[in-house]
A and B are shown apart, each in its own frame.
Chain A
Amino acid sequence: MQSFHIRYRNTQGTLMRILNAASRRGLDMPFVQAEQGESEHQVTLILDVNAKQVGQLYREWYAIADVIHVGAGSVHSDAWTDHHPPSGVTIEQQRAAARA
């Protein structure tokens, strides 16, 4: 597992283009978290990729017009594959909220 941190201007479609670079390669996306930074946005992805795909993704992301910076993080252990974050709200909580 490899984590990627991509900073981008939050213009129309930019996040989708970032995600599409992974999905067009048939990569599962067990973790995706997009958040607003100070003046820009950042998305963190954890992907199961080989070395060749890392290079391809890195360059393809960087070719997107509103991507500012692409960084690759550390290689993660199998811990990331055990669940499917983000799971801030459990199904039970959702059910409870729906019933309320």
Chain B
Amino acid sequence: MLKGADIVLQCLRAEGVDLVFGYPGGAIMPLYDALDGSGVRHVLTRHEQGAVFAAEGYARVTGKVGVAMATSGPGATNLVTGIADAKMDSVPLVCITGQVRSALIGTDAFQETDVFGVTLSLTKWSRLVRNIDEIPEVIAEGFHWARSGRPGPVVIDIPTDMLKAKKEFSGPVKFTPHARPADAKAEGGFTDTVVALLQQSLKPVALVGAGAKLSGAIPELRRLLDTLNVPTFATVHGLGAVVPEASYYLGMVGMHGTRAANMALHETDLLLVFGARLDDRVTGDPSRFAPHAKIVHFEIDPAQLDRVRPCEIPVIGDLAETIPAFESELKRHKVPDFGGWRSVACGADRAELDPRGLAQPTIRFLDELFSRLPEDSVILADVGQHQMWAAQRFNSGSPRGFITSGGLGAMGFALPAAVGVQLAKPDTCVLCVSGDGGFQMNIQELATVHRLGLPVKMVIIDNKYLGMVRQWQQLFYERNYAETDLSDNPDFVDIAKAYKIHSFRMKEDVMREFPVSQETGDQIDRFLRSPDPELLVFDCAPEANVFPMVPAGAALSEMLLEEEPTQ
């Protein structure tokens, strides 16, 4: 006879889980009681949101399912932002929540919330366990849905009496999904049509999103892109999928994408999309998105097709299957030479402007940091201006080397996510770039970093504002900086010291010298190579802005390249 809690942990082990993140509480105490000796390591964060973001970080960098645990009521509701984040960014995540005992469900008992209902629209699949006998099947099915197709979040809510109850346990089970008659594999016929469109096209481009990474088809994608040799760009989650040195690669596309990428996307007559949702930050005004183009959309999740703009040819299926099918069809034909178009789209007159203005020192600082990182480092960016600067300057071909909350844009993501990444990759340099606003949203996770001795390298780009909101206020709300002033920030260096983490401040003036002085370079090298956690607070000009920028509701061709001279 085993307790339900022991069965849960055995089933987790059977799913390959050896690390979970969480925070204990009343209803989930039986599960915590059973952890010792279970083979599942638990990492205590200092807030449930820290736990779920850490689980996400672990999942994003490994591709495995991340697991977070919390108690009922406030514990479970504190997971909600992370669950929404995982849904938006296709992160395989299983959240296990304790629930009040079965007899109390529905009575508004102490720490009771309808977690199943609260998370229904945010999860890919969820269950409230009603009987101890269900536990093995529920966990097996939950993990199946978390990792299959377009990955996503799953919630398993277990009443505390189910965790305490005992039953005969014959071992974990396997889940076999029900076949659906309409589950269509990519139809062989699509390849002919796409090749025909390519042959008719004069200005084809390729757009790469996170789906290319999730499918594990990076080698196939890179081979295909080399064959196509057409101007190519990536979404923020597609960064690292394309080798940055490729002559056809134009960098990031979208609201803060490169000028060359946005212009090519505006001018193209054939857009090949590989695993991207085409959300509004990528498309700008949907009615003027790629206005001359036919769209071929390679996508695993049919729900993502035609959301903002109809596509001419949906290619539904795993990119690991559809890309090779397209590639083999392409081999049977002569691929047109798009050299003329490529030389226009990738031409020197569309190259990025050198950083200038108030943001120049910060951009140079990020360049210095990134250029000195060991190979295969992982960069995490929080949400805001620093996120976009970091994405613009990211210059690595490591497919899982840039991690951020892209779809939800959840401030406070990066620090706890870095905990998960560092635990998954203990020998990798993990650089966590945050703003002063976002860092304070989960600042308590410094305690987790310290407790575990994780050598995370934390950077705060400190402009003493909620910078991205302030930038919009400056540009679109006549500089009415309503409630974005953070000039009374605490001293982050002192705060880190209180957590026993070495920290120091760097003035932006040191980046006005170019190349940077030996002393500054050494300081950055020492920071990156320290075996201990480190915090570097970089002073950023309060009114530095991110450019290029496509204003909300504008077309990609209407990007602002730099400050208006009058400002």
Contacts and interface: CB of A to CB of B under 8 A. Distances in A.
A67 to B, nearest CB: 8
Given A13-B116, A52-B306, A56-B306, A62 B182 contact: yes
Contacts of B334: none
A5 interface: no
B306 A65 contact: no
Interface in B47-88: none
B480 interface: no
A20 interface: yes
Contacts of A9: 178
B143 to A, nearest CB: 13
B303 A62 contact: yes
A96 interface: no
A13 B120 contact: yes
A12 B150 CA distance: 21
A17 B182 CA distance: 19
B506 to A, nearest CB: 45
A24 B122 CA distance: 11
B413 interface: no
B120 A16 contact: yes
Contacts of B180: 67-69
A12 B127 contact: yes
Contacts of B182: 62, 69
B306 A12 contact: no
Nearest to A61: B303
Interface residues of A, number: 19
A12 B303 contact: no
B126 A13 contact: yes
Contacts of A63: 150, 301-303
Contacts of A59: 302-306
B479 interface: no
Interface in A1-39: 9, 12-13, 16-17, 20, 24
Most chain A Cβ neighbours within 10 Å, of B125, B128, B145, B310 = B125
Interface string A46-76: 0000001001100110110111110000000
B421 to A, nearest CB: 29
B340 interface: no
Contacts of A68: 178, 180-181
Contacts of A20: 120-121
A12 B302 contact: no
Contacts of A62: 182, 302-303
A59 B178 CA distance: 18
A20 B124 CA distance: 13
A52 B309 CA distance: 9
Contacts of B150: 63
A62 B116 CA distance: 21
Contacts of A55: 305-306, 310
A65 B121 contact: no
Interface in B98-142: 116-117, 120-121, 124-128
A10 B66 CA distance: 28
A12 B128 contact: yes
B307 interface: yes
Nearest to B138: A12
Contacts of A60: 303
A59 B182 CA distance: 12
Nearest to B302: A59
Contact of B126 (A12, A52, A69): A12
Nearest to A17: B120
Contacts of B303: 56, 59-60, 62-63
Interface string B345-375: 0000000000000000000000000000000
A1 to B, nearest CB: 21
A17 B301 CA distance: 17
A22 to B, nearest CB: 12
B120 A65 contact: no
Contact of B121 (A24, A52, A67, A69): A24
Contacts of A52: 306, 310
B262 to A, nearest CB: 25
Most chain B Cβ neighbours within 10 Å, of A17, A55, A59 = A59
Given A56-B307, A63-B301, A69 B124 contact: no
A9 B180 CA distance: 11
Given A12-B116, A52-B306, A56-B307, A65 B125 contact: yes
A52 B308 CA distance: 9
A65 B301 contact: no
A63 B125 CA distance: 11
B565 to A, nearest CB: 41
Contacts of B181: 68-69
Contacts of A56: 303, 306-307
Interface of B: 116-117, 120-121, 124-128, 145, 150, 178, 180-182, 301-307, 310
Given A13-B120, A69-B180, 9 more contacts: A12-B126, A13-B126, A52-B310, A55-B310, A59-B304, A63-B302, A65-B125, A67-B180, A68-B178
Closest 5 CB pairs of A and B: A63-B303, A59-B302, A59-B303, A60-B303, A20-B121
25 contacts: A9-B178, A12-B116, A12-B127, A16-B120, A17-B121, A20-B120, A20-B121, A24-B121, A52-B306, A55-B305, A55-B310, A56-B306, A56-B307, A59-B305, A60-B303, A62-B182, A62-B302, A63-B301, A65-B124, A65-B145, A66-B178, A68-B178, A68-B181, A69-B180, A69-B182
